[in-house]
Amino acid sequence: MIVRRPAFALFPVLAVLSCGQPAPLEVKGAWARDTVGGTANAAVFMTITSPAPDRLVAASAPVARKTDLMTIAGGSGATEMKYLKGIDIPADRPLSLDPGGLHVWLAELKQPLRAGQSFPVFLEFAKAGRRRVVASVIAPAAAPPRAGMRM
Ligand SMILES: [Cu+2]
């Protein structure tokens, strides 16, 4: 019955596939700016697209001691950052984390971020689970990378 072994060996793989793949949520164009002058904190931006409603509930990055989800609360002229417990991702509509609002906040960087480098960021979604994205570090005056909306 040695002949049958390969067939049995396939069972675990099939079981995993039939459990349903995680929703093909996509994260594109992750970037952060060069921490000129040795700033201890940095914001990471990106575009998230999900076919189903989801929620970004946590993030972490090895380059920082602390990682938080934040937004910018525009008040009476003064802008201030606000911590968030999660960021809702609408279905089929790219959500931009950009310098005008939502961002992943890296606090207490272990090393400066230098243009041309890149670093991993781990994102935890309520439904899609854990994703690893690579953020590119861009020069202070450089234009952010475009997320590219391929359908
Ligand atoms: Cu912030």
Tens-place pLDDT, residues 21-66: 655 899 999 999 999 887 899 999 999 999 999 999 999 999 999 9
Average pLDDT value for the chain = 86
- Cα of 30 vs centre of ligand 1, distance in Å, is 16
CA of 69 to the centre of ligand 1 (A): 7
Residues 46 and 30: beta-carbon distance below 8 Å: yes
- Ligand 1 mean position, distance from CA 28 (Å): 20
What's the gap in Å between 58 CA and the centre of ligand 1?
14
What average pLDDT score do residues 135-151 get? Answer: 77
pLDDT band with cut points at 50, 70 and 90 for residue 79: confident
What is the whole-number distance in angstroms between the Cα of residue 103 and the centre of ligand 1? 6
Q: How far is the CA of 15 from the centre of ligand 1 (A)?
A: 42
pLDDT of residue 150 exceeding 50: no
Ligand 1 centroid from CA 82, angstroms: 7
H, E, C per residue of the chain: CHHHHHHHHHHHHHHHHHCCCCCCCEEEEEEEECCHHHCCCEEEEEEEEECCCEEEEEEECCCEEEEEEEEEEECCCCEEEEEECCEEECECCCEEECCCCCEEEEEEECCCCCCCCEEEEEEEECCCEEEEEEEEEECCCCCCCCCCCCC
Q: 22 C-alpha vs ligand 1 centroid, how far in Å?
A: 29
The owner of tokens 């960087």 is 109
Q: What is the mean pLDDT of residues 65-69?
A: 98
Compute the distance from residue 146 Cα to the ligand 1 centre, in Å. 21
What count of Cα atoms within 13 Å lies in the side-chain half-sphere of residue 81? 14
- State the distance from the centre of ligand 1 to the C-alpha of 23, rounded, in angstroms: 28
Q: At 52, which amino acid appears?
A: A
Predicted model pTM: 0.79
Distance 76 CA to ligand 1 centre (A): 18
Task: Name the band, by pLDDT with cuts 50, 70 and 90, for residue 2.
Answer: low
